[in-house]
Amino acid sequence: MSIDSENNLLISEADHTIAALGIRNKAIIHTHDATLVADKKALDKLPELLKQLAQRDNDKLTHHQAVFRPWGNYRTLVESVGFKVKKIIVNCGAKLSTQRHHHRAEHWVVVSGIASVHVGDDKFELGADQSCYIAAQQIHSLANCHDEPLIVIEVQTGAILDESDIERFEDEYGRE
């Protein structure tokens, strides 16, 4: 939203409203875990600011809460020893890779949309307020074959919860 403002760059990656009132030549960029407010003329000094941030809080630069993929995006909501909770948004017509994890199990709960799920030899659809469990070592995939975004809450449990624990078998986007 903007009133009596001009020549500004206003970006919000989350469902967060930016309201500008009487400002000019500013960049306001809001992400899930940080907000940048800058004069547009000073943006050439952004690398210097990022270096300072890296020295003070390197985790903000290396572990983003929102991660964008060809099929949509996910956001880590909470993480601790032995578990991680993500909000996954799968774009219309998109599919995650067919994969398995050696060190973690997953539980998917559909919040909205319709999930096309493949777990082991079973293929089925899940709607809002339905869920499924994927044990460690089970081959699985998740797709959105419908005309509205699919939103899933994923709860991971196990010893290794990072992206290194993915063995892909099939991927529409050419990832290994």
Cα distance between residue 2 and residue 91, in whole Å:
29
> Percent of the chain having pLDDT more than 70?
94
Q: Which amino acid is at 98?
A: T
Average pLDDT estimate for 92-116: 97
Among 61, 33, 41, 72, smallest CA distance to 150 is for 72
Judged by average pLDDT, the poorest of 31-40, 53-62, 73-82 is 53-62
pLDDT at 53 over 90: no
pLDDT of residue 65: 67
Band of residue 141 on the pLDDT scale cut at 50, 70, 90: very high
Band of residue 95 on the pLDDT scale cut at 50, 70, 90: very high
Q: With the CA atoms of 54, 58, 62 and 65 taken in that order, what torsion angle do they form, in degrees rounded to the nearest 10?
A: -110
pLDDT of residue 114: 98
Among 131, 135, 103, smallest CA distance to 119 is for 135
The model carries a pTM of 0.69
Q: Which helix (H) or strand (E) holds 54?
A: helix 46-62
